[in-house]
């Protein structure tokens, strides 16, 4: 079975797939190499997709394709309608990256709360001691604070477990009251939280959800963390809030445009911590991704039902 893996593999990935080489022919293509992508698409029976958007034109080039498998949960980077029209199944991997994204989320919370980038720069420059006298006034713990989770799926529930163990009060919101302790309507959650962390898929209903009015509901000493999707936040409004002191800090793994340009308005702010959409990217997650990807290929080969299909193909 011919698989087009749209990412650059490391040695461990190649080692894990070597055991399947008798039946699985995996061809790798870097995400920024469109020439190779377009050359490989016509022969691919399966596409393992990560982040570079897979357009309708790309899908139409994949004339032999029967399955597009997202290595992750969000399928907003795939033209699902085009795949459905061509009878191509689209599947994802809900929960496979949840442990890694949850830990990456808490990492950004801590880095933003504790002013990690500023302190790192000052220490390297020989200016880290004596410490900034403001630290005892502006740096806080997660424990003893309130963490508000916007969306309450696999990742958010793991974050709740971690920060709860650290002593935080955990609130959450979703489309309606789910009956669990700590549920709040979004406006109330924003006003009550020391840290607001986003865990939503990108849909027409969530795009721009954290707009200027929503950000204004947050406390001036609050921190915003986003490891879900960039367009959920109005980045211009966020930059204004951070610059003016209406918001204390932000930790961001995702952006409206990816890769984010070096002149992004948030990058010049000292109270922003950023990573390039890699909260999911660990050796542990990659093992889970490959196991699920190989299993669905086996199912396709054997004529069995695929798992985690999100569309009606055909």
Sign of CA dihedral 235, 240, 243, 249: negative
Cβ(235)–Cβ(255) below 8 Å: yes
Confirm if 16 and 283 have CB atoms less than 8 A apart.
no
Q: Read off φ and ψ for residue 48, nearest 5 degrees.
A: -95, 110
Phi, psi (degrees; rounded to nearest 5) at 69: -110, 115
List the catalytic residues: 229, 258, 277
| H or E stretch at 5 | strand 2-5
Rounded CA-CA distance 22/201 in Å is 37
CA-based nearest residue to 175, from 160, 186, 164, 190: 186
What dihedral angle (degrees, nearest 10) is formed by the CA atoms of 112, 114, 116, 121? 120
Cα(2)–Cα(66) distance, integer angstroms: 11
Distance set, CA 278 to CA 50, 200, 286 (Å): 11, 16, 12
Report d(CA 102, CA 105) in Å as an integer.
5
Name 186's Cβ contacts closer than 8 Å, sequence gap at least 6: 150, 173, 209, 214
């Amino acid at each position: 079975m011919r698989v087009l893996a749209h990412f650059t593999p490391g040695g461990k990935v190649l080692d894990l797939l070597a055991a399947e080489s008798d039946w699985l022919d995996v061809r790798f293509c870097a995400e920024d190499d469109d020439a190779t992508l377009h050359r490989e698409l016509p022969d691919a029976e399966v596409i393992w997709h990560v982040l570079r958007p897979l357009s309708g034109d790309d899908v139409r080039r994949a004339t032999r394709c029967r399955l597009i498998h997202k290595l992750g949960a969000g399928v907003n980077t795939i033209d699902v309608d085009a795949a459905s029209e061509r009878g191509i199944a689209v599947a994802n991997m809900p929960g496979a990256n949840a442990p890694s994204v949850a830990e990456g989320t808490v990492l950004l919370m801590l880095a933003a709360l504790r002013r990690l980038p500023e302190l790192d720069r000052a220490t390297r420059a020989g200016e880290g001691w004596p410490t900034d006298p403001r630290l005892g006034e502006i740096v806080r713990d997660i424990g003893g604070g309130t963490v508000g989770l916007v969306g309450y799926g696999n990742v958010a529930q793991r974050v709740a477990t971690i920060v709860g163990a650290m002593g935080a009060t955990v609130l959450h919101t979703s489309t309606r009251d789910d009956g669990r302790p700590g549920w709040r309507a979004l406006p109330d959650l924003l006003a009550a939280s020391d840290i607001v962390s986003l865990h939503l898929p990108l849909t027409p209903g969530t795009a721009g959800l954290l707009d200027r009015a929503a950000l204004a509901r947050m406390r001036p000493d609050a921190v915003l963390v986003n490891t879900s999707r960039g367009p959920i936040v109005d980045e211009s409004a966020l930059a204004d809030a951070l610059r003016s002191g209406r918001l204390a800090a932000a930790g961001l793994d995702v952006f409206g445009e990816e890769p984010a340009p070096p002149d992004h308005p948030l990058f010049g702010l000292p109270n922003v911590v950023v990573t390039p959409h890699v909260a999911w990217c660990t050796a542990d997650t990659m093992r889970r991704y490959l196991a699920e990807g190989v299993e669905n290929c086996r199912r396709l080969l054997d004529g069995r039902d695929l798992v985690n299909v999100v569309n009606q193909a055909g």
